[in-house]
Amino acid sequence: MGIFLVFYKLLLERESMHHFKRFFLLTALIISLIIPQIVFTEYIEAEPTPAVTQVLTINEQPEITPIVHEMEESPMNWTLIL
């Protein structure tokens, strides 16, 4: 709409062809309302990606050794608790 308004102000405002100016203004209004409704669709062909078929086999499992902590029993001082 701004482009049409600038064109009108620079070139047509001083002219005396009122019918042409009226036609131009109405056409510019209609075109400026239609242009945002136009949708351009672009189709992009996607390249197929190969599926991952790598299989990992584990032949050797690490040896897990349990860690045993022996807890020492300490005498409980009941007088501090009571």
- Summarize pLDDT for 22-77 with one digit per residue, the tens: 787 888 888 888 988 998 888 888 888 777 666 666 666 667 777 776 767 767 77
Evaluated on CA atoms 26, 29, 31, 37, the torsion sign reads negative
Place of tokens 């349990």: 66
Q: What pLDDT was estimated at residue 5?
A: 74
Question: How far, in Å, CA of 1 to CA of 28, rounded?
Answer: 7
Position 80 pLDDT exceeds 70: yes
Residue 4 contacts residue 28 (beta carbons within 8 Å): yes
Q: In 3D, which of 9, 3, 36, 8 has the Cα closest to residue 24? A: 8
Calpha distance 63→56 (Å, rounded): 19
- Output 46 or 10, whichever has higher pLDDT: 46
